[in-house]
Amino acid sequence: MSSKPWGPPLWKILHGIAEALGNQSVPMLATDEAHEIVFLLRDVEKIMPCQLCRTHYREWRKNHPLEEIDRLRGHMLKTGVRQWLFDCHEQVNQSRNIESGLTVDQMPELYGNVDFKEAWGEFFTKVKLNTEIGLVSQSVLENFHRRLGMLRKLVGRY
């Protein structure tokens, strides 16, 4: 299954949430923010309708553990997640013989003002058919959306 229909809106959501991280001043909420982004990034593979994409993402996570990110707070969390996602996205592009020409320094400009409702709507529309044919579980998709909502509340982008 091609990632073309659902890949771009998913990347937009992930890069957008990375750019919204790191502004929590309350220590307990900063910890929640770090935990939630790690949970969200762990769940990404479960909402991918492409088995090969899931396998590649699982391998990426194995080689780039999220436990490092879970310990970061504030600006370090933002830059850590930004770099992790950028590197992951570039790896995907490389595997598809795509040269993005982007740098990690361009991420804030490109994804700093993502409309999450719009991006989720686009992603959900493209993945919905896959829930109907059993490639993605409806409950897993709903759980991912709940986590995304929690994270959006924590970063003040709801």
Helix 116-132 / helix 138-154 crossing angle, nearest 10 deg = 170
For 49, other C-beta atoms within 10 Å of its C-beta total: 20
pLDDT value at residue 3 = 54
Q: Which two tokens stand for residue 82?
A: 């930004």
pLDDT value at residue 28 = 96
pLDDT value at residue 4 = 63
Report yes or no: 12 and 120 within 8 Å, Cβ to Cβ: no
Integer Cα distance of 76 and 86 in angstroms: 15
pLDDT value at residue 130 = 87
List, run by run, the mean pLDDT of 10-residue segments along the chain (158 residues).
78 97 95 97 94 94 94 97 98 92 97 95 91 90 94 89
Integer Cα distance of 6 and 11 in angstroms: 9
pLDDT value at residue 154 = 94
| Rounded (5°) CA angle 154-83-150 | 15
Q: Amino acid identity, residue 92?
A: V
pTM of the model as a whole: 0.93
pLDDT value at residue 129 = 86
Q: Amino acid identity, residue 97?
A: N
Integer Cα distance of 82 and 134 in angstroms: 32
pLDDT value at residue 144 = 94
pLDDT value at residue 72 = 97
